[in-house]
Structure 1
Amino acid sequence: MNQNDQIVRILLVGDSGVGKTSMIYSLVFEEFHESVPAKIHEISIPGEITPANIPTVIVDYSAQTQTEIELIDEIKKASVICVVYSVEDDATIQKISTYWLPNIRKALGENHHVPVILVGNKSDAVECSSIDSVLHFLHQYKEIEISAECSAKTFDNLIEIFYYAQKSVLHPLTPIYYQEENTISDQCMVALKRIFKICDQDNDGILNDLELNNFQVYSFGSYLLSQTFDDIKYILKSMIPDGVSENGITFSGFIKLLTFFIQRGHHELIWIILRKFGYNNHLGLDDQYLNPDIKIPEDCFIELSSRGYSFLSDTFKKFDKDNDGALSPNELNELFSCCDAPPKWSSECDYRYCVHTNEKSWLSLQGFLSIWTILYQRFNVMFYFYFILSRIDSLQSYFSYTVIKDNRLDLHEKQTPRNVFLCHLIGPKGCGKSSFMRRFLHHNIKINNNNNHPQQHQLNQKNQSFKNSNHDDNEPKNIMAINYNDFVVNKITIYAEDKYLIIKEIDILVSNQTLKQAELFCDVCCLMYDQSNNSSFAIIASVFNKYFQDSKLPILLVASKKDLPIVRQQFPIQPEEFCVLNKLTPLHKFSSISFENQSSREALEVYEKLVTMAAYPSLNKLVHLLLSKPVSSWMAKNLQFLPHENTYFRVGIGVATLAIISVFILRFFRPN
């Protein structure tokens, strides 16, 4: 429970005559009454007059006036339960384990999280403590926070009982500490390890003075003096020699320090720390952190901002301890070691088939940034990661919002400010789509027809893994379904700006295949056919005529396997003419086979075209116009109506302008 979440509801249960009602009377009226009713009505105490400053309701239960059903109902509503017994009556002590605790578990379940306090009343009537008589219950029932004695008659320890009841709700001891073993609980140890890693900004396994002060300020809102740090280190070193190093406090010293606070009864300090770093009473990350309520306007698209990419780059470099430009499996595990549930892709190496990796299939920085562009809509995954290294800044600052229209592209705009684009790669089976996607990730690898070449073998292995894992059924999947073998993503730089292109493959098994709405929802579409197969083009031509002929979506036709002999397609219109008639960007010919004289720039050309078409949708018609009409005749036709006296001047300006635009556009859209 967080301090502002709810009212603390304290329920007192126990046998008749143990003094439950007397305890409440003495607390509220500050005087002892020899004769009290069997049950008192609920007592509401305003927060401002309680030690913990929390509104509190005290509930009295009486078996004389209430049924067992009512008991169960009250137990379910309670924030904390005080089981009261009489220190001078052994029978009431026995009833703790034979009746009260079993009934509490019956109502709440064996593994409930409602704290229980054993209260021995009438301590003024005996000389010896009864704590030893109930101590074994604490080991048997983990929900019991403490056992304490008080006297409603002399007020001895009475206020402290109710204060501790509040405290056990706000700062429960049981989840964070094993009392019988005098050690921090396993769950709490995991949480504190994560917090230590967050604060260890230089990742050296030690909290130096600056990191300790940042931790102190963030957790408690105050600085510590240099002398205080020295005192803490001195005390720690006397308790645990390896808890302090020359540069600061080690993890073992950090744990020893927090254990010391718990053992001195100040475990609320640990809860202040835990809650600051997003933990709830059950030591799980709070839902408001894992599933933030970020309002995204309708028709809006959310992307990582430049600050978000910087954060990810810094994180990558922090855990790339050998500085080889890639995260090994061990380094990646270390990065996510303090997450309660690391993302699936990090543990199963699914990323190897969808983003850029090095020759060892380790995640490169480029691949690391790419995979997070896919995850930007899955806030819970991002938050697992975000909390590893960042804690103070708002996560929203790492995202930027980009408005998109209903049809995903606004052709009235000169360009889109977005940086992430989705391309659907559509074509018949066997036309080379998987190779096209693999080449997108490994455009620098020189590949020839020698399958024994090690890099060729690696790429073939990845292609086969991709094919085996892709398209288990014909049901299209959203790219966010997180099957990391369904798509590839990589960075492309156009006009000195980094853009990310996600390519998702869609198989066309028959020419009349029906595409679902999700398969038509993209920023740019790449229709691919095999130029060496005479029946291949007819399939994508049919798809275009059925779905894209009247669409404003940018379309690029790609003839794959250009290294193989070209054959005439069994379709009335051949591909080049088809592009002209439908005012499409000229046909691009592609081969996944690299040649010795082919530069990485040439290997990237088709992907640059796709990104440019998505980022600058308004240029697509101009591209077709420039590449399909002779400039001289087109200029003559459109300038014949100019006034005679201005013709030469305007023609000169027009030709110069058109030449500049042509060079600008042809750089990306020239025919092969």
Structure 2
Amino acid sequence: MVQRPVVPRRNVRILLIGDQGVGKTSLILSLVSEEYAEEVPPKAEEITIPADVTPEQVPTHIVDYSSIEQTDDQLVDEIQKAHVICVVYSVDDEDTLDRAASYWLPLVRKCSSSNRCPVVLVGNKIDLVDYSTIEAVYPIMKEYSEIESCIECSAKTLQNISEMFYYAQKAVLHPTTPLYNYDTQELTEECKTALQRIFKICDLDNDGLLNDMELNNFQQSCFNTPLQPQVLEDVKAVLSKNIHDGTCNGCVTMKGFMYLQCLFIQRGRNETTWAVLRKFGYDNELQMSKDYIHPPLKVPPGCTTELSHKGQEFLTILFMLHDRDRDGALSPPEMESLFSRCVTPPWGDEYKYTVPTNEKGWITYQGYMCQWALIALTNVRKTLEYMAYLGYNMFNNECQTTAIHVTREKKLDLAKKQSSRNVYTCHVIGRKSSGKTTLCRTFIDPKLEKLADNNVPTSAQIAANTVHVYGQEKTIILRDINILNVQDALTPAQIQCDAAALVYDTSDPKSFEYIARIYIKYFADSKIPVLIVANKSDLAEVKQEYLLQPPSFCNKYKLMPPQPYSITRTVRPEIFVKLATMAAFPHMKQFGLVQGDSVVWWKAGLGIAAATVAGFMMMRVLNTNKR
């Protein structure tokens, strides 16, 4: 599915207004019949010109106004319905031009105040005089920025009649006002921002310049035609002659790129700049089109969303290009550079508490991909939006929906006793002070060097990282579920997950009863795999004040034996591998009954080691290729 450029409009509605006798109706009749009508009715009927006979290939409706046949209320209604308004005056009658400035233009502005309608100022009856009124029009254009253009014509001799209606169409489809400020003779700030983003997306090697290959890709993408070598040299010659720092080492700079777009607009070639803007998703207000950033994506119930191979490849390349010092992490300036294409960054400082970072607190490649995996799972709409901002559509010449993989329904995973997904959610539940929060934090910071209690906000309840299951990398999202009392009901959102870790404190005699009751109430009859974690196993174990001791409880409910865990000892990643494996293979909920299950876990461990080595080798190859 190829991403379509933003469509400017499906039709154009042109309204002609002005004083009686200036020739509004004659202009319409002359356009349609291609000859001058000696007898003219008070008002022409609405005319529709088919798309195939208009220069812009858009159906055009032309509407006349007559003060004789229509009321003031009807006039206001027509102004509000119009896409563009031609204010007509007679070049041989100065009063009609004065009335255009003092009455008609203020009326148009008043009636379309919420969304200013573009205006074309039309001087008719040029055949009656031997001078031009354009000089007198300039001050009016300066006062009314909605005036897109002005033209003099003659309904009698047909001079500039077609051009007049073409300018009116163009004022709707390729308006100047959003792009260019006539007062400052510069691009508008909105236009500059949009073009700067486009430049960064087209700068594939992220060196701040557009080389010949990148310029050709830009031309091919926007206009479906290659850039001829001579044209390319001519462009560079224009830049070298007219602007300082427009080129560098035979490449076009950001400054040069902006100058070229400004030049197109100054020469009346708005359609060229608009073609570029619309290809990159901008609408007439220079906002990213909703259809462009939020394409439809169907996610059936029971299915989840994660990054596809194409999505992972795109994000990986972005990371590598912006990791300037090749340290495997993004410093704040590097991250700012990467997300400078976006309206706002996709995440704030929460990544420091959610995914792996280096010793400086900078997001690592692993953390970066985990953060994207988290967003893709929990907010696919936002993921699609940011893929558009970052330029995925141009990178693959495809809609950003191809960056997302919609997984099969979970009931099929259960039926096949195996999941095809790569991202899983695991809820960690336990009594206060059981150590469940610490368990989550050690998933991304094994020694708790960066995630001590005094610098982690209480709102940080998610930890995302990767583990390997039988040689395949899986992203696991641990969610710390806070429940104050066992009597408090869990919400469906707190229960539904791919695997659950129920944590108790081996040194607290009242700790196990809490999770035992949680299990019986919410998980005993569910198909969600559960792992019992015996936390603080370095402390002296005490007898639990419950009718069954943890091993007996696990045996009764066909669960794996309690898994010992302690932060004071070397952190054992097997806990997280087991959670991931249980999520990937839902039937392992009953692993505790399978004889020799330790052999299965041992095989999973071998898969972890092999995949880890493979991962290091891949990163070394990537870094070697970049040197």
Secondary structure at 1:551's aligned position in 2? coil
Match of 1:646 in 2: none
- Count of aligned residue pairs for this structure pair: 596
| Aligned partners of 1:560 and 1:590 also within 8 Å | yes
Q: Deviations over 1:337-373 (max 9, x none)?
A: 1223332x1xx31211111111111111011100111
Secondary structure at 2:589's aligned position in 1? helix
Structure 1 residue 298 displacement after superposition: 4.2
Secondary structure at 1:366's aligned position in 2? helix
Aligned equivalents of 1:4, 1:98: Cα separation in 2 = 32
Match of 2:358 in 1: 358
Q: Which stretch of structure 1 is more off in the superposition, 374-383 or 116-125? A: 374-383
Task: Determine if the alignment matches structure 1 residue 528 to structure 2 residue 503.
Answer: yes
Match of 1:167 in 2: 170
Task: Determine if the alignment matches structure 1 residue 580 to structure 2 residue 555.
Answer: yes
Structure 1 residue 97 displacement after superposition: 3.7
Sequence identity percentage: 44
Distance 1:667 1:562, change over 3 A: farther
Q: Deviations over 1:379-427 (max 9, x none)?
A: 3443324442431133233222211235xx7433131100000111111
Which residue, out of 394, 397, 402, partners 1:397? 402
Distance 1:217 1:399, change over 3 A: same
| Aligned partners of 1:626 and 1:662 also within 8 Å | no
Distance 1:523 1:489, change over 3 A: same
Structure 1 residue 91 displacement after superposition: 3.0
Task: Determine if the alignment matches structure 1 residue 606 to structure 2 residue 559.
Answer: no
The within-5 A match list for 1:79-478 is 79-110=83-114, 112-343=115-346, 345=347, 348-376=348-376, 377-390=379-392, 391=394, 392-405=397-410, 410-443=413-446, 445=447, 455=449, 458-460=450-452, 463-466=453-456, 468-470=457-459
Amino acid at match of 1:400: H
Task: Determine if the alignment matches structure 1 residue 25 to structure 2 residue 25.
Answer: no
Structure 1 residue 107 displacement after superposition: 2.5
Aligned equivalents of 1:100, 1:27: Cα separation in 2 = 23
Task: Determine if the alignment matches structure 1 residue 619 to structure 2 residue 588.
Answer: yes
Q: Which stretch of structure 1 is more off in the superposition, 350-359 or 115-124? A: 115-124
Q: Which stretch of structure 1 is more off in the superposition, 24-33 or 190-199? A: 24-33
Secondary structure at 1:214's aligned position in 2? helix
| Aligned partners of 1:356 and 1:442 also within 8 Å | yes
Aligned equivalents of 1:2, 1:161: Cα separation in 2 = 26
Secondary structure at 1:288's aligned position in 2? helix
| Aligned partners of 2:305 and 2:380 also within 8 Å | no
Amino acid at match of 2:600: F
Amino acid at match of 1:430: S
Which residue, out of 502, 510, 525, partners 1:550? 525
Secondary structure at 1:533's aligned position in 2? coil
Amino acid at match of 2:502: L
Structure 1 residue 465 displacement after superposition: 4.5
Aligned equivalents of 1:350, 1:97: Cα separation in 2 = 56
Gaps of 5+ in 1: 448-454, 471-484, 628-658
Match of 1:652 in 2: none
| Aligned partners of 2:89 and 2:124 also within 8 Å | yes
| Aligned partners of 1:42 and 1:59 also within 8 Å | yes
Task: Determine if the alignment matches structure 1 residue 518 to structure 2 residue 493.
Answer: yes
Aligned equivalents of 1:312, 1:520: Cα separation in 2 = 32
Secondary structure at 1:585's aligned position in 2? coil
Aligned equivalents of 2:419, 2:578: Cα separation in 1 = 15
Structure 1 residue 310 displacement after superposition: 1.9
Gaps of 5+ in 2: 606-627
Aligned equivalents of 1:312, 1:218: Cα separation in 2 = 21
Amino acid at match of 2:504: Y
Secondary structure at 2:528's aligned position in 1? coil
Match of 1:479 in 2: none
Aligned equivalents of 1:586, 1:16: Cα separation in 2 = 94
Task: Determine if the alignment matches structure 1 residue 664 to structure 2 residue 600.
Answer: yes
| Aligned partners of 1:8 and 1:169 also within 8 Å | yes
Structure 1 residue 667 displacement after superposition: 5.8
Aligned equivalents of 2:250, 2:417: Cα separation in 1 = 55
Secondary structure at 2:219's aligned position in 1? helix
Match of 1:482 in 2: none
The within-5 A match list for 1:615-654 is 615-621=584-590, 623-626=591-594
Amino acid at match of 1:577: S
Aligned equivalents of 1:10, 1:43: Cα separation in 2 = 10
Structure 1 residue 292 displacement after superposition: 0.7
Structure 1 residue 544 displacement after superposition: 1.1
| Aligned partners of 2:533 and 2:565 also within 8 Å | yes
Distance 1:620 1:298, change over 3 A: closer
Task: Determine if the alignment matches structure 1 residue 72 to structure 2 residue 83.
Answer: no
Secondary structure at 2:407's aligned position in 1? strand
Match of 2:612 in 1: none
Aligned equivalents of 1:667, 1:29: Cα separation in 2 = 84
Q: Which stretch of structure 1 is more off in the superposition, 312-321 or 563-572? A: 563-572
Q: Deviations over 1:99-155 (max 9, x none)?
A: 323332333225x24311111222223333222333223222222211222121222
Aligned equivalents of 1:276, 1:379: Cα separation in 2 = 21
Task: Determine if the alignment matches structure 1 residue 41 to structure 2 residue 45.
Answer: yes
| Aligned partners of 1:87 and 1:121 also within 8 Å | yes
Structure 1 residue 428 displacement after superposition: 1.6
Secondary structure at 1:442's aligned position in 2? coil
Q: Deviations over 1:436-456 (max 9, x none)?
A: 11100012x3x6xxxxxxx3x
Amino acid at match of 2:323: D
Structure 1 residue 189 displacement after superposition: 0.9
Task: Determine if the alignment matches structure 1 residue 6 to structure 2 residue 7.
Answer: no
Aligned equivalents of 1:590, 1:501: Cα separation in 2 = 18
Aligned equivalents of 2:604, 2:35: Cα separation in 1 = 90
| Aligned partners of 2:36 and 2:155 also within 8 Å | yes
Amino acid at match of 1:42: E
| Aligned partners of 1:85 and 1:93 also within 8 Å | yes
Match of 1:54 in 2: 58
Aligned equivalents of 2:461, 2:84: Cα separation in 1 = 50
